Structure 1
Amino acid sequence: MPTVTVVVLTMGDRPTELAAAIESARRQSVDVEIVLVINGGDPDRSLADIVVDPGENLGIPEGRNCGAAAGTGTLICFLDDDGALRGDVFGPAVEAFAASNQLGVIGLRVVDEHGKTARRHLPGLRKDAERSAPATAFAGGACLLRRSAFDEVKGLCGPFRYGLEETDLSWRMISDGWDVQYRSDLQIYHPRTSPARHPEFFFHTARNRVWLAHRLLPLPIGLVYVFNWTAITLAKNFLAPASILSHLRGTIAGFRSRPGPRNPISWTAVMELTRRGRPPLV
């Protein structure tokens, strides 16, 4: 049985990067199996040990759920098809999981072509790329998860499709007693990009924040969380009316259709998120 199931989603439009990503996983010091999930296009299937082709674009979270289910490794790595692991990441990660039965997720440090880590890839409000620390979220395509923990909380929320699905997963894991850690010494290369490059970025993010609050936050905290992020978005984009309109459309859509179940985290979990540096208000 392989130690790590490496799940790579692809649209088939990055053949060179895809090959490099998979090669970086093959070079790890532990046994791996590569699961390629085809969300579009016609990638080189021979690169993978297992191919999942649903015949449609399932979105990121549901695609990763399907990829994870197809594998057998005790650990799962979600790896972007334009990323590449830097050195031996899996060896130290396996040791960390073995040392702590409560460790559910390790978030890797994402390093760009300039050797920098974008703020959006750093957990918590205290943005220090060099410091390993307890976390409340992680980069979705740069992480390792304990399969038993992932299965216990029933994986990622498929309807999110893109945006905040990792936060939803992290909060559920922490609420169930699992530990989420950011490891600055375990790194993955990924070219610097802006999430706003996706046409529906503001819509999906706003909608999914409402869904996140509905699914997991006690009512008073959830309302403050949505209000605060709307205010932050308006302040940051006051010169971009199209972005503001997209955000407002997403917020309305989030209130109109809310995927369940609603299972608010405990106040103890709220305090734990706060202790970890990210109170669920912002």
Structure 2
Amino acid sequence: MRHLRVGVAILTMGNRPAELQALLDSIAKQDLQPAHIVVIGNGSPLPPLPHGARGVELTDNLGVSGGRNVALDELRKLGDLDLVIDLDDDGLLISPDVFSRLAELHSREPKLGIVSFRIADELGRTQRRHVPRLKVGDPARGGLVTTFLGGGHSLSVPMLDRIGGWPEEFFYAHEETDLAWRALDDGWDIRYAPELVLQHPYTSPTRHAVFHRMVARNRVWLAKRHLPALLVPLYLGVWAILTAARTRSLPGIRAWAAGFAEGVRTPCGRRRPMHWRTVWRMTKLGRPPVI
């Protein structure tokens, strides 16, 4: 079995040079070396990069989706690839066989479109939100899922050729879900592989000032773009109730409501509702697209 050709994409805003260097050092220790590494300075200059890593400095911050699409374009220019691996700039590969095991997984399962890493802190703990299923259970239990983690994952290039790249309109929040739903609707599998670990510091998503607005706006956009009409009010109603129950901050609730309204009134790209067979498939996998 031949090893697939791997490309690595990393986004950075220039504020984590030490962490970025540690990540690049951990990539250099992999037993399967990537064919290409692209580092995107998302609206920021880049520090010196090791030999073989291509840097692209963007004048403006294009967000997660826009920055990753630039990285995809650069990787395609550099040569034929089978897999693209996206890694957070403050992550760390603690095992030298992550890339070779990824290549083996994709080689063994031709319809495997996405593999999600396990995100763990320095003590090996995985936060609940970093397990891509409703019933978390044991974070070390893998299997087929309906979404994936943005911080560490692989994407099949043949899959991307069919479904397209990241939704640039989203900028930040739920861009993984958008890509995952398109992949599932096209017949691809998504696997959570907890044996593939990206070490990452403990963080809270609400550390980002725009978190509540972007989450709400993009949640509405997800529904408008991808859900059958009957499921749109159900999906948005469930998330409105959950948000009201979980959010303890009045400014957070206000920002969420403003984002929700923005999502309703603004365009979000072409509508392509998923097939009902995809809804049923997601339901059997444990996460129907109403939550």
TM-score computed with the length of structure 1 as normaliser: 0.96
What residue number does 1:52 align with? 56
Q: Deviations over 1:150-196 (max 9, x none)?
A: 22111110110110000110110010001100001111001010000
Residue of structure 2 aligned with 1:228, choices 235, 238, 256: 238
| Aligned residue type for 1:199 | A
Aligned-partner Cα distance in 2 for 1:12–1:134: 35
| Aligned residue type for 2:166 | L
Aligned-partner Cα distance in 1 for 2:284–2:74: 36
1:46 is paired with a residue of what secondary structure? coil
What residue number does 2:267 align with? 258
Aligned-partner Cα distance in 1 for 2:275–2:48: 44
1:115 is paired with a residue of what secondary structure? coil
Residue of structure 2 aligned with 1:181, choices 164, 188, 191: 191
Q: 1:209 deviation in Å? A: 0.3
**Runs in 1 of length 4+ with deviation above 6 angstroms?**
none
Aligned-partner Cα distance in 1 for 2:265–2:56: 33
What residue number does 2:32 align with? 30
Q: Deviations over 1:65-124 (max 9, x none)?
A: 110121133210000000011202111110111111101010000001231111111112
| Aligned residue type for 1:173 | A
Q: 1:140 deviation in Å? A: 0.8
Residue of structure 2 aligned with 1:124, choices 109, 115, 133: 133
1:144-223 aligned within 5 A: 144-223=154-233
Aligned-partner Cα distance in 1 for 2:249–2:63: 27
Aligned-residue CA RMSD (Å): 1.4
Aligned-partner Cα distance in 2 for 1:277–1:45: 45
Does 1:86 find its partner at 2:86? no
| Aligned residue type for 1:55 | T
Q: 1:225 deviation in Å? A: 0.7
Q: Is the 8 A contact 2:44 2:58 kept in 1?
A: no
| Aligned residue type for 1:27 | K
Q: 1:141 deviation in Å? A: 2.0
Q: What is the number of residues matched between the two proteins? A: 281
Identity %: 38
Mind listing any 5+ residue stretches in structure 1 that lack a counterpart? none
1:35 is paired with a residue of what secondary structure? strand
**Which moved further from structure 2: 267-276 or 49-58?**
49-58
Mind listing any 5+ residue stretches in structure 2 that lack a counterpart? none
1:199 is paired with a residue of what secondary structure? coil
Q: Deviations over 1:47-69 (max 9, x none)?
A: 36212223111110111111012
Aligned-partner Cα distance in 1 for 2:48–2:4: 19
TM-score computed with the length of structure 2 as normaliser: 0.93
Q: Is the 8 A contact 1:7 1:67 kept in 2?
A: yes
Q: Is the 8 A contact 1:75 1:146 kept in 2?
A: yes
Aligned-partner Cα distance in 2 for 1:204–1:44: 29
What residue number does 2:16 align with? 14
Summarize the Cα distance change of 1:45–1:257 in structure 2 as closer, same or farther, 3 Å threshold.
farther
Q: 1:2 deviation in Å? A: 8.2
Q: 1:27 deviation in Å? A: 1.4
